[in-house]
Amino acid sequence: MMTFHREGRSIMLLSTLIFLVLSYLNYTLLSPAYWAFFLILEFGFIVLLYLIFQFFRIPKRKCLGSAFDVMCPADGKVVVIEEVEETEYFKDKRIQLSIFMSPLNVHANYFPISGRVCYSKYHPGLFLVAWHPKSSTDNERSTFVVEDDHGTKILFRQIAGALARRICYYAQTGDKVTQGEEFGFIKFGSRVDIFLPLGTKIDVKLEDKVKAKLTKLATLN
């Protein structure tokens, strides 16, 4: 079963109205004299409308992660697993794990662990392609840190890409949150970075296709 995200309601409605107008004009101007052209254009309109609707789809999934599991916050592909210096909050070395979301992926974002939001901040910025090395620090982004019941903190960050022009986020500092609960949405291509403590067991590898709420990314100590 699948539903559609509230962030897409106005876009889907507008797209449907445009589709109906274009289909009417296409039928009026090209059918039946240019039947082949009519069919080609109509097929193109249907494909575009389908792509817009599927972008905002929200499949029904149940998150079954344990208290020590870091569950995937987004659908996509693992593009970075490396030790880096995290400069915004921890200001020390962490394991960065990055997930790239193409325009064809589900773009809702979910909390990877349960706990309390102890930091949240939105940063305006650029719109470099999501796989650019500086996109994590220079692009429009929002950063969150959640502390679990065992005192472990992990940072995760929504990053806008070249096509993503709006980051939506719902979590605020002080919120009590549950693993698998939605915290945001990014429109049209983007990336999510997760920063884990050194020594964390990573359960995925580069180029793995991962799914939000279903794929276990790592196991906390």
Question: Is-catalytic flag, 190?
Answer: yes
Which residues, 6 or more positions from 29, have their beta carbon under 8 angstroms from its beta carbon? none
DSSP 149: T
Distance CA 72, CA 112 (A): 6
Q: Which of 98, 135, 142, 190 is catalytic?
A: 190
Q: Interior CA angle at 144 toward 69 and 207, to 5°?
A: 55
- Which secondary-structure segment (H or E) carries 146? strand 141-147
Cβ(200)–Cβ(82) below 8 Å: no
DSSP structure string for 35-69: HHHHHHHHHHHHHHHHHHHHHTEEE-------TTE
Provide the annotated active-site residues. 190
